[in-house]
Structure 1
Amino acid sequence: MSTLVRSASLTNYAEVARAAGLDPLAFLANAELDPACLHNPDLLVPSEAVRDLLEASALACGMDNFGLRMAETRLLSNLGVVALVAREEPTVRRVVRALIRYKHLLNEAAYAKLDEAQGIAVIREELFFGHAGSSRQATELLVGVMFRILTFFLGPAWNPSRVCFAHPPPRDPVLHYRMFGYSVDFKQDFNGLVCTTRDMDAPNPLADPVMARYSRQLLEATAGSGSMGAVDSVRHTLLVLLPSGECSIDRVAQQLGVDRRTVHRRLMREGTTFSEVMNTVRRELAARYTEDHARPLTQVAELLGFSALSAFSRWYKQQFGEVAGQRRRAIRRT
């Protein structure tokens, strides 16, 4: 089933495209997206189409930081009604948690998680489309928007301790350094921001507890309770657990706070099984990681939760009908 994203995700697309010498309307047409997306931020459009639009635009103009250019001037207000809730939360931690809770109302393909330990806070952001294809531009847009939101509350001089991207570095990282500072790392195991728990503790001077309550009531009345379906919950949990190798249904159930039978039952109601969901997640990640020639296949196997390269190789050939190394060589020749 196709996932949807608010057309606000295309904020600044036309400006960046024109500055790069592209015709934004022509590229929208090629992606089968309505030009109204550029003017009505609340339209729901296929997230895959937006991803493909950004990748096609970046390729056409030779800008491998196209998505980050779109994020560079984003505002809190671009989040629509979710911004009303975030703006009234008392601390930055509560702001981030509100964004995570309502993330699916902004982009059904997006996943976010906040982990804190020993004074370090990690905001992990991932995209899952269910189909192969590069997500570099959409990922940098996603992380860039989170950064812009945090600077709204922490001040324009704030920089995270680290900014992590799973994809290789751009040809020219000047924009990344200008936006995030120099602590940007590529070819990492996740996409997201690393900061301190002190940053999360920072108070929000704009917060109004009464307005926060009313904003949440408004959001949940107009968009539902904010709960995720079983497939999305399992899928997002697997994105975190796969690199650790602890991706059994029992481990997933533990993370979700239920038993394995409950996970089975909920997935069956949505017409699928745990094995099918895990296989779908692995297929997309495998296609994405295999395209990255700088990432050894042994590391790809680990990121997908396989105990050995041989197990990954057998699975890959069964799924794609070819050897992973052959696929990588074929991509290099194109």
Structure 2
Amino acid sequence: MSNLVRSASLTNYAEVAREAGLNPLALLAEVGLNPACLQDPDLRIPTDAVRRLLEISANASGMDNFGLRMVETRQLSNLGVVALVAREEPTVRRVVRAMLRYSHLLNESVYAKLEEAEGVAVIREALLLGHEGSSRQATELLVGVMFRNLKYFLGPDWSPIRVCFTHAPPRDPGLHIRLFGYVVAFGQDFNGLVCTTRDMDAPNPMADPVMARYARQILDATAGAGRMETVGSVRHILLVLLPSGDCSIEQVAQQLGVDRRTVHRRLLREGTTFTDLVNTVRREMATHYLEDGKRPMSQVADLLGFSAPSAFSRWYKQQFGEVAGRRRRPEART
């Protein structure tokens, strides 16, 4: 059985291909990929097909930095549910460990490891594809995405000690220098990033340990074959998806690997409904956030998946019979 990767790995592929004068749909067909993978980031597609697609595209365009071109506009959200775990971890070290721990949910062919010694932190990344042929483009995409994600947490001015690639330098290193700076090095003994342990110690101001725990629980459940034997599995998924603003029953079913009718049927069997569970989870989290008092009301509304604070206020009054501000700690109301 071939290893699989989320189709989010092809984010920006069509745009880069067209800019290079290529026909992205024709190239997808050449490697046996469905065009739907350019629209739905959560499809599971063969990693070797993605590798071949990037190498064919690089050769056809004459751009030996094709994979890196796909990195320039990547966002943390391209990691899907894994991003919800990472953004709630308290330090950059914990962020990196979370991304590495769950990397197999994004790409089953990735081997990644964080090593620290004497003030230096090394993030090693490798693609274990079991094939013959170049993986240059996929490797540069992999390392580039990690680099972009670290800048999300460490700031736009952050730079690692070194960005390492095992392959030879490109004909024109301009894009590499623009993206990574003059710290990029080729012909190294591993692919990845060299940082400082101080970088790893940096706090993540967006962190919420409660949400991080819930997010880890759902990812652990997903990694265990996506089973749903109790209401708890659905609760865990809701706790992770609520802040994204899309916690529909279709999204929950997708995380569990079943259809929406199966989710509905199983919940009814256990004496509840999807709507009831959504309200239960929101009540629990609303109580936590308002009693904690560290977040403004608008942010609480966002974290609970409401489109606007007014929608949150109406829901809260309906659920608790009082206005939301009354539950906040006195020192948090000012």
Query: Paired residue for 1:142?
Result: 142
Q: Distance in 2 between matches of 1:179 and 1:157?
A: 12
How many residues in Structure 1 have an aligned counterpart in Structure 2?
Answer: 226
Query: Paired residue for 1:96?
Result: 96
Query: Paired residue for 1:37?
Result: 37
Query: Paired residue for 1:171?
Result: 171
Query: Paired residue for 2:204?
Result: 204
Q: Deviations over 1:40-60 (max 9, x none)?
A: 011001000000000000000
Q: Distance in 2 between matches of 1:115 and 1:47?
A: 26
Query: Paired residue for 2:111?
Result: 111
Q: Deviations over 1:200-247 (max 9, x none)?
A: 000000000111111111222233289xxxxxxxxxxxxxxxxxxxxx
Percent identity over the alignment is: 77
**Partner secondary structure for residue 78 of structure 1:** helix
Q: Distance in 1 between matches of 2:149 and 2:217?
A: 22
Query: Paired residue for 1:50?
Result: 50
List 4+ stretches of structure 1 deviating above 4 A.
none
**Partner secondary structure for residue 166 of structure 2:** coil
Q: Distance in 2 between matches of 1:111 and 1:61?
A: 29
Query: Paired residue for 1:22?
Result: 22
Matched, 1:81 2:85: no
Q: Distance in 2 between matches of 1:225 and 1:28?
A: 29
Q: Which has the higher contact order (CA 8 A, sep 6+)?
A: 1
Please state how far the C-alpha of 1:79 moved relative to its aligned partner: 0.3
Query: Paired residue for 1:10?
Result: 10
Q: CA RMSD in A?
A: 1.1
Amino acid at match of 1:137: Q
Q: Distance in 2 between matches of 1:126 and 1:222?
A: 23
Query: Paired residue for 1:256?
Result: none
Please state how far the C-alpha of 1:3 moved relative to its aligned partner: 0.7
Q: Distance in 2 between matches of 1:17 and 1:117?
A: 41
Q: Please give the residue correspondences for 1:259-298 in structure 2 after superposition, counting only pairs within 5 Å.
A: none
Give the structure with higher Rg (CA): 2
Amino acid at match of 1:78: N
Q: Distance in 2 between matches of 1:216 and 1:123?
A: 21
Amino acid at match of 2:139: T
Q: Distance in 2 between matches of 1:221 and 1:186?
A: 39
Q: Distance in 2 between matches of 1:116 and 1:213?
A: 24
Amino acid at match of 2:33: L
Amino acid at match of 1:28: L
Query: Paired residue for 1:180?
Result: 180
**Partner secondary structure for residue 71 of structure 1:** coil
Q: TM-score, with normalisation over the residues of structure 2?
A: 0.67
**Partner secondary structure for residue 132 of structure 2:** coil
Q: Distance in 1 between matches of 2:179 and 2:33?
A: 29
Q: Deviations over 1:56-95 (max 9, x none)?
A: 0000000000000101111000000000100100000001
Unaligned runs of 5+ in 2: 227-334
Q: Distance in 1 between matches of 2:26 and 2:32?
A: 10
Q: Distance in 1 between matches of 2:221 and 2:8?
A: 21
Q: Distance in 1 between matches of 2:160 and 2:224?
A: 33
Q: Distance in 2 between matches of 1:139 and 1:16?
A: 17
Q: TM-score, with normalisation over the residues of structure 1?
A: 0.67
Q: Distance in 2 between matches of 1:80 and 1:14?
A: 19
**Partner secondary structure for residue 49 of structure 2:** helix
Q: Deviations over 1:287-320 (max 9, x none)?
A: xxxxxxxxxxxxxxxxxxxxxxxxxxxxxxxxxx
Q: Distance in 1 between matches of 2:199 and 2:3?
A: 32
